[in-house]
């Protein structure tokens, strides 16, 4: 009986493995592009908790910030970092502004032609059409995974633009199969360093208060314009 039971378990495990493999093989690039196109059509706004981690391999340093994201596809993008120190980052038009409450200072940057690039890396996958993704990246499907209890599809993206590859040579996206929005992004820099963003408590197409689409800095806060870009 023990031998028969072991055999039955092995058969079950084999069948489950084959079923998972067949399911992963069903994901083609065209199917992924189609699903992302559909998701982008519906996407307008997003609020989410986020955790941003930067790893510098050479000095074995890891830094983590956490906060809240407010993204209006037709308006502003705001990130409120709460830990370890409060600060706010606001993108509107071709301008980025960073408010440091402890310094009572706003740093302002003109993004110019780099805005699209900043948005691409900041919010890649949120409202991004699959066709746009296909145009900009070589897409490799790494298969379905479980991430924090959710079924996700992991993609590896390689920038087609050589200039981008000289900075970020590849990146990974974990797409929630229920919402077709990223729940995690990982960017691999040339040299071995990487940064990763995790998103939780996502709310799509909810109304974002006007107070969350501007900086909370009081009037009279000092504004400086550093020469160095972002």
Cβ contacts of residue 176 below 8 Å, gap of 6+?
Answer: 150, 151, 152, 182, 183
- Each residue's pLDDT tens digit, 156-174: 999 998 887 888 889 999 9
- Give the least confident one: 121-130, 203-212, 219-228: 121-130
pTM, two decimals, is 0.81
Q: What is the pLDDT of residue 125?
A: 84
Q: What are phi and psi of 24, to 5 degrees?
A: -65, -35
Cα 226 to Cα 95: distance, rounded to the nearest angstrom: 13
- Each residue's pLDDT tens digit, 184-197: 999 998 888 999 99
The neighbour count for residue 199, using CB atoms within 10 Å, is 21
Cβ contacts of residue 130 below 8 Å, gap of 6+?
Answer: 32, 33, 34, 35, 36, 37, 40
Domains annotated for the chain, with CATH where assigned, are 29-224 (2.50.20.10)
**Average pLDDT of span 136-140:** 93
């Amino acid at each position: 009986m023990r031998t028969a039971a072991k055999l039955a378990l092995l058969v079950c495990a084999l069948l489950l493995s084959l079923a998972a493999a067949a399911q992963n093989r069903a994901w083609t690039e065209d199917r992924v592009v189609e699903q992302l196109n559909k998701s982008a059509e519906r996407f307008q706004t997003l609020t989410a908790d986020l955790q941003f981690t930067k790893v510098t391999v050479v000095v074995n340093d890891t830094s983590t910030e956490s906060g809240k994201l407010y993204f209006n596809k037709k308006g502003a993008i705001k990130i409120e970092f709460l830990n370890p120190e409060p600060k706010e980052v606001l993108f509107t038009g071709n301008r980025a502004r960073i408010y440091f409450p402890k310094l009572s200072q706003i740093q302002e940057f003109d993004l110019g032609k780099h805005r699209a690039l900043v948005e691409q890396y900041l919010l890649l996958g949120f409202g991004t059409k699959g066709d746009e993704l296909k145009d900009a990246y070589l897409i490799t499907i790494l298969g379905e995974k479980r991430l924090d209890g959710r079924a996700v599809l992991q993609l590896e993206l390689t920038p087609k633009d050589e200039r981008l590859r000289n900075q970020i040579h590849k990146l990974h996206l974990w797409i929630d199969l229920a919402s077709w929005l990223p729940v995690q992004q990982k960017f691999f820099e040339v040299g071995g360093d990487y940064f990763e963003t995790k998103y939780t408590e996502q709310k799509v197409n909810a109304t974002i208060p006007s107070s969350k689409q501007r900086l909370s800095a009081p009037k009279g806060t000092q504004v400086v314009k550093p020469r160095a870009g972002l």
